[in-house]
Amino acid sequence: MSAIKRSFLFLQGPCSPLFAKIADRLKNHGHAVHRINFNGGDAVYWAPRKATCFRGKLETLPEFLEAIWAKHQITDQLLFGDCRPVHKAAASRAGDFGIRTHVMECGYFRPFWITLELEGVNGHSLLPKNPDWFIDAGKRLPKSAPAHPFRSSFTKQAAYDVLYHLAGIINPVFFPHYKSHVPVSAAVEYACYIRRFSLQRLRKQQEAQSVSTLVNADSPFYLLPLQLNSDAQIIHHSPFHDMSEVISFVMRSFAQHAPVNTQLVIKNHPLDIGLINYRKLIAKLVRQFDLAGRILYFETGLIDGLIKHAAGMVTVNSTSGCAALELDCPTIALADPVYNLPGLTFQGNLDDFWTAYTKPDRRLFDYFRKTVMYSTQINGNLYSQPGTLLAAENAVRVLEAEKTPLETLL
């Protein structure tokens, strides 16, 4: 237990009880805990604990935060996702007031890890872009402890999400100015999920056979895993507006520069809601770029089996890039994720990647993974009962330490 008692402010968390569990542990350790609710879902997962409600317009939030920081002498704040509109002011201004910002996100490595990083994640990460730093740090660190596994339930995750959005029915009265960072309403999202998953059942067997034929053939192929259009990685940390633009960019380059005996496999994100008809878009681009017979599109299946047999992967900044590097798959990142390092990813342009790619440096990746796991990852998850209990325990260990693991290395 830390001897230094601090004052923690909790902002928006995931659609689950995780933040409440972390807060209860911090409070039991003698730290002060405070909370701002921005909508009905926040209130539901924090109840019955006390909280301050922000009911104003977004432009008044900085002043509101400054008052909360001063009133409660906040030393640390915890938030999920540093690019949400309700978090931008908190993340960008807290340092001026001597407040440490701890940002939580889905893990850089899956499935048993969550990212908990000081000041920012992904494109805002403090992790250096120097391969030598990872080698030096990795040499000093002990062997990474294995993940404590647990079962994750999509049903429970869906139930938490539904409850969070059902609680939003009170927003017009109690939080009249709240606007979600999600681009579509929950009703539209759920309807799209039902439609897409229903169609997937029809395609699953056929696509599994197509994948089997692909990986057993002699023809080399490249892999393009799609990300969500609503992902902060695309909106805030990439040069692209959406995945349609990414698909067009990659297919054009593939048509002009990839060897004629190769194929490009485009794999949709498992949580895409299906608002955009990628199959139709790809068919149009196949005609436009004269790529008949060279493009495959899959909605279903696991990506690891494709990565293992791919000649290379093209990604914007997806965490699947980490999986590709772990499986020794040549990878190019079209943005600048934490793993975009000389020796790990291809550092030239996409036009050259198709013929000049190289495999990642295994030694560098091992040091990179060990360092990232130590400095930014905690074992646990956002939704399952054992996963959230484990995450809360590990998060508190990081939050109440005098220095975060990353600070000890920098």
Is pLDDT at 149 greater than 60 in this prediction? yes
7-165+373-409 folds as: Rossmann fold (3.40.50)
Model pLDDT for residues 94-115, shown as the tens digit of each residue: 999 999 999 999 999 988 999 9
Least confident piece of the model among 7-16, 61-70, 156-165: 156-165
pTM of the model: 0.92
CB 393 within 8 A of CB 1: no
Q: What are phi and psi of 179, to 5 degrees?
A: -130, 125
Cis status, amide bond into 131, omega within 30 of 0: no
Model pLDDT for residues 230-255, shown as the tens digit of each residue: 889 999 999 999 999 999 999 999 99
Which helix (H) or strand (E) is 212 found in, with range? helix 186-215
Which helix (H) or strand (E) is 199 found in, with range? helix 186-215
Structure tokens, 361: 């440096």
Q: Could you say which architecture CATH assigns to the domain 206-366?
A: 3-Layer(aba) Sandwich (3.40)
- Nearest alpha-carbon partner for 163 in 58, 269, 56, 39: 39
pLDDT of residue 190: 75
Q: Please report, for residues 226, 261, 295, 334, 352, the alpha-carbon distance to residue 355 in angstroms, rounded to integers and kept in the order given.
A: 22, 12, 18, 17, 6
Residue with the larger pLDDT of the pair 276 and 204 = 276
Query: pLDDT-based confidence at 3, cuts 50/70/90?
Result: low
Structure tokens, 325: 């590097």
Domains 7-165+373-409 and 206-366 share a fold: yes
Q: How large is the average pLDDT for residues 182-202? A: 74
- Nearest alpha-carbon partner for 45 in 185, 154, 159: 159
Least confident piece of the model among 181-190, 312-321, 348-357: 181-190
Q: Which residue type is seen at 161? A: D
Is pLDDT at 70 greater than 90 in this prediction? yes
| Domain extents in the chain | 7-165+373-409, 206-366
Mean pLDDT of the chain: 93
Least confident piece of the model among 5-9, 65-69, 82-86, 208-212: 208-212
pLDDT of residue 145: 82
Q: Which residue type is seen at 397? A: R
